[in-house]
């Protein structure tokens, strides 16, 4: 699918007349992270759109760091919905896809009937947590991701750093394509440099929202997740998964699918 001159890999599946669900992946795994979630959503009568986002689709891999600014990522998602003729959808995001989902819901509330975010709190809740909890220490890896030569370090020794973090060999394979990991890291480089506060500023969300957080996530603490309710002005549900690490779509697909299905009943 082509949007603004970029060609995105998009998978559409599920009952033809079901309510639409747009699923946005995070770093560094593409839309395959939702593979175990999708059948459960289809069984619930939902029709899904899984987008391999800018940098992850080989045909949507522009060379400049500035090409990965949040504004472009938001426009991509809206552009895909427009190309498909989808007036509104349930919005789902994990990790970086969660950050993007908050921005989409905050800036385009008329396009989404509900929001389900896994792991990543509202950007304002993240700001609060960075100032008053251990979240700054948890997020310290970001400086390594934006540093020069991060690609080589992350892929060294057969991708040992990423594999230790929980990325599987199958998920690692697409990142070995020329320019793929650089494009994925450019999400960090474009948005966590310069005026970060202005770049990440996000309106409160006024649609029904669920935040799914796992208590064994080393990167994202409870404070930034639970406090997201302060910035969700409609119905807010905070769901805690015990003993699950950061990779909620892969490690707890049934629980995530259940929360998405619950949100699909609110229109």
Token pair, residue 58, equals: 């080989």
- The two counts, helices (H) then strands (E), for the chain are 13, 9
For residue 73, what pLDDT is reported?
98
- Percentage of the chain beyond pLDDT 90 is 96
For residue 168, what pLDDT is reported?
96
User: What CATH number matches the domain at 2-263, 3.10.20.30, 3.40.50.920, 3.40.50.1820, 3.20.20.10?
Assistant: 3.40.50.1820
Please answer whether residues 52 and 8 qualify as being in contact, where contact means their C-beta atoms are separated by less than 8 angstroms: yes
For residue 59, what pLDDT is reported?
98
- Percentage of the chain beyond pLDDT 70 is 99
Active site residue 108: no
User: Residue 37's closest CA among 55, 14, 15, 18?
Assistant: 14
| Statement: residue 103 has pLDDT above 90 | yes
Tell me what the mean pLDDT of segment 220-226 comes to.
97
Active site residue 72: no
Q: Which of 188, 217, 231, 245 is catalytic?
A: 188
For residue 2, what pLDDT is reported?
96
Please write the tens of the pLDDT for every residue from 108-117.
999 999 999 9
Tell me what the mean pLDDT of segment 89-105 comes to.
98
For residue 267, what pLDDT is reported?
46
Tell me what the mean pLDDT of segment 3-32 comes to.
97
Please write the tens of the pLDDT for every residue from 50-95.
999 999 999 999 999 999 999 999 999 999 999 999 999 999 999 9
Please write the tens of the pLDDT for every residue from 150-174.
999 999 999 999 999 999 999 999 9
Please answer whether residues 222 and 215 qualify as being in contact, where contact means their C-beta atoms are separated by less than 8 angstroms: yes
Active site residue 103: no
Name the more confident of 193 and 178: 178
For residue 194, what pLDDT is reported?
84
| Statement: residue 18 has pLDDT above 90 | yes
Tell me what the mean pLDDT of segment 225-252 comes to.
97
Give the span between the Cα atoms of 188 and 84, in whole angstroms: 28
User: How long a stretch of residues is the chain?
Assistant: 267
pTM of the model: 0.97
The three-class DSSP label of residue 9 is strand
Residues 6+ apart with CB under 8 A from 235: 208, 209, 266
The three-class DSSP label of residue 216 is coil
Distance of CA 86 to the CA centre of its chain: 20
DSSP assignment of 142-177: HHHHHSTTHHHHHHHHHHHHHHHTT--HHHHGGGGS
> What are the phi and psi torsion angles at 29 (to 5°)?
-100, 135
Taking the CA atoms of 161, 222, 251 and 61 in sequence, report the sign of the dihedral they define.
negative
Domain ranges of the chain: 2-263
Please write the tens of the pLDDT for every residue from 192-207.
988 888 999 999 999 9
For residue 266, what pLDDT is reported?
53
Residues 6+ apart with CB under 8 A from 182: 151
Average predicted confidence (pLDDT) for the chain: 96
Task: Say if residue 28 is preceded by a cis peptide, omega within 30 of 0.
Answer: yes
Give the span between the Cα atoms of 236 and 222, in whole angstroms: 16
Q: Which of 76, 95, 128, 217 is catalytic?
A: 95
Give the span between the Cα atoms of 199 and 68, in whole angstroms: 12
């Amino acid at each position: 699918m082509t949007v603004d001159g970029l060609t995105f890999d998009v998978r559409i599946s599920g009952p033809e007349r079901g309510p639409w669900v747009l699923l946005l992946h995070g770093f560094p795994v593409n839309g395959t992270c939702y593979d175990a979630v999708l059948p459960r959503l289809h069984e619930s009568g939902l029709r899904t759109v899984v987008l391999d986002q800018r940098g992850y689709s080989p045909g949507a891999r522009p060379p400049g760091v500035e090409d990965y600014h949040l504004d472009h990522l938001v426009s991509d998602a809206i552009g895909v919905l427009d190309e498909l003729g989808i007036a509104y959808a349930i919005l789902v995001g994990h990790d970086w896809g969660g950050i993007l989902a908050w921005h989409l819901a905050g800036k385009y509330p008329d396009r989404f009937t509900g929001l389900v975010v896994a792991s990543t709190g509202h950007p304002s809740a993240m700001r609060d947590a960075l100032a008053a909890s251990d979240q700054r220490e948890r997020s310290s890896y970001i400086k390594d991701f934006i540093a020069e030569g991060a690609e080589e370090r992350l892929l060294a020794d057969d991708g040992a750093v990423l594999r230790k973090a929980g990325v599987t060999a199958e998920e690692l394979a697409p990142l070995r394509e020329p320019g793929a990991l650089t494009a994925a890291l450019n999400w960090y480089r474009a948005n966590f440099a310069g005026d970060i506060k202005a770049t990440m500023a996000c309106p409160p969300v006024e649609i029904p929202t669920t935040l799914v957080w796992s208590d064994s996530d080393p990167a994202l603490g409870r404070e930034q997740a639970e406090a997201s309710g302060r910035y969700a002005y409609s119905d807010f549900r905070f769901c805690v998964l015990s003993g699950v690490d950061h990779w909620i779509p892969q490690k707890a697909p049934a629980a995530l699918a259940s929360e998405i299905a619950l949100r699909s009943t609110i229109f």
